[in-house]
Chain A
Amino acid sequence: AQSVSQHNHHVILSEAASLELGCNYSYGGTVNLFWYVQYPGQHLQLLLKYFSGDPLVKGIKGFEAEFIKSKFSFNLRKPSVQWSDTAEYFCAVNARSQGNLIFGKGTKLSVKP
Chain B
Amino acid sequence: GAGVSQSPSNKVTEKGKDVELRCDPISGHTALYWYRQSLGQGLEFLIYFQGNSAPDKSGLPSDRFSAERTGGSVSTLTIQRTQQEDSAVYLCASSSRGRAEYNEQFFGPGTRLTVL
Determine the residue in chain A with the shortest Cβ distance to B43: A103
The answer to whether B48 has its CB under 8 Å from any CB of chain A is yes
- Chain B, range 59-116, C-beta contacts under 8 Å to A: 59, 91, 93, 98-110
The answer to whether B18 has its CB under 8 Å from any CB of chain A is no
Option from B48, B101, B104 in Cβ contact (under 8 Å) with A100: B48
- Chain A, range 28-74, C-beta contacts under 8 Å to B: 32, 34, 36, 42-46, 49, 51-52
Interface residues on A, range: 20 to 34
Instruction: Let me know if B99 and A99 touch, CB within 8 A.
Output: yes
Interface residues on B, range: 20 to 34
* Inter-chain contacts of B48 with A (CB < 8 A): 99-100
The answer to whether B42 has its CB under 8 Å from any CB of chain A is yes
* Inter-chain contacts of B56 with A (CB < 8 A): 98-100
Q: How far is the CB of A98 from chain B (nearest CB, A)?
A: 6
* Inter-chain contacts of A36 with B (CB < 8 A): 107
Q: How far is the CB of B114 from chain A (nearest CB, A)?
A: 17
Known: A96-B100, A100-B59. 12 other contacts (CB 8 A): A34-B104, A43-B107, A43-B110, A90-B42, A98-B99, A99-B48, A100-B33, A100-B45, A101-B33, A103-B35, A105-B42, A106-B42
**Complex A-B: 12 CB contacts under 8 Å:** A34-B104, A36-B107, A43-B108, A44-B91, A46-B106, A94-B103, A96-B100, A98-B99, A99-B98, A99-B103, A103-B43, A106-B43
Interface of B toward A, CB cutoff 8 Å? 31, 33, 35, 42-45, 48, 50, 56, 59, 91, 93, 98-110
